Structure 1
């Protein structure tokens, strides 16, 4: 390893440009004593070690060029890694062209999309941080316009005039998202098998780009969710009907992707733990089925279950409160631990995590926030401590505050490493 003669600093290793080595990645606790909150302690997923429990959740930004990531994504994603996020997950990335949510979505269905992803991976690695990618297919919710082009709360259709494909939507059954939306085509068994291969091919491209982990998107009403739900999946073949049949596509994808990624690479899955349709009076995907699914995923080599909810039906009734998704994550985590699978399958919590104390409380082993005495959100673990999840996956708060990790550390009184180039401007509690 050479030393830059002008700065006398060691360059970051393994990247094709000069930047100083971050001796400790930003966000690393400098004190490892017992008083350090769980939020700032390391966690290991197979061979992947994260120095804290902050993950940048995949966030669609509708800014790709024919599926290719651009300099926008380099700056957007790099900002979080620079400021202490241990793991940054690239936004939902389509495994086929018709699997994009919008014409401007990220994709990994062709080899030309590897290089722009690798450029971002190299930058994140230069900061000593880790990066993953979420592989997805949007199903019947594909070919919609970016949100700033539409009425708030709607998923308006992108027609051929703006690069859309409303006549080529895939779903388990030919059921439109809502009135006024295109009716998708019911997938053939051959198309389902081809889709599994598309996930495999995209995973191989992600590995070529150097990612540290891969997440399979099975949430928010996109294709895999549509297969899981008895409302949107009305098939009568091996992919519909029973719980075993409705989960078949996801489990096939998990097996196939796990079979081609390195043994030491963790595999993540995001699900909607409930589609919030219990009020409909018909069978729907719910928390109890998610618990059953979690046990299966643990046995198939999934390392982290990213627990979200909703998004599969415009008539959903969500019971919103700050911990409405963390509650479900906690229940799944409790079951896994009771079944002896808590070490095999870790749990990530999402949703409305916007303060230092809330982030701390979700993963903290012990302690309640004021006003939580009556909430059933604490999970007893074998060593007498409590937690709802093992990691927090944060989206919107990182958009508001890319330095959320460093601010959280300051507010919680934890001394952490920062970017070496920013050494003259440390974040301190008294200045927030």
Structure 2
């Protein structure tokens, strides 16, 4: 199959400069992987990756000669990063794997394009292109798999997984993004049998992979397969079983929530688990853990008043997600007015301050804090109706009484 791609990254001056630098003395260079794959299907742009038939030292020398900054990221494994005008290009020396240990493989440089293709994970990632956009499919069926939206390992699934156990999760992630229909049985069988190998993968890598999976337009089929193969027990045991993801995806589409927020999906996936445990499991940042906690459901929205309250307590975005999660999980059906109510609640600001209470006789300390908290509770309970004068008066009466 002869194919030529067109993409903005291919025509960019930075891309042309890096290509010229790497091919200055006749080296064999090709674009590879996601940038080619997505250009074929007119998908969103990805990072621009290249391969070269030189050892990493040779790639660095070529880039240095052209005055292009180099970051030796992954140098020991044949990868360097070229940085030009704020854009990064990952350049891998074509190589073959030897003595894999399930996390990373020792490599030998100097492979040809077929050998390089055969060591990649999935057929759809083994596509190459030259500077003119001519696509090459060394293994012979990458393009047909991409056209069929079929995600499968190159060669033996078990062998590919044992080279890097993170490929178990990558299979599900790539199916969520690029696959259609049910997943390929040989890959699922291998993932089920080797799922325990995920214990050898860092939690940071697992967390990043799960978040990428959850950001797919519809991860429902992939998540069901992760659960059925037993992979989820090793990747995220805090996840609930039989989560209603199809219902959540339908609600997201109904309300035009694009791009997808993986936090909302993670909150549904781990509903009932402590956010701190999920944070530790996936090595999430403290900020992400706090956002996850804000989406845990403590009470359902049943009317405009509770919608405004939730908007005030958690902010518009988190409150909206709580509403969607509860509805997807069999809670109250969403009323159109609740979105506006949530936004109204999020705009509310407590009309009384600590200084207002100090002006009527409070002194800084625990009693002042308790009085301010009580005023806020009364104000929220009134559906944000009580004004500053009433709240101050009530606080003053409480102080005098007590």
TM-score (norm 2): 0.32
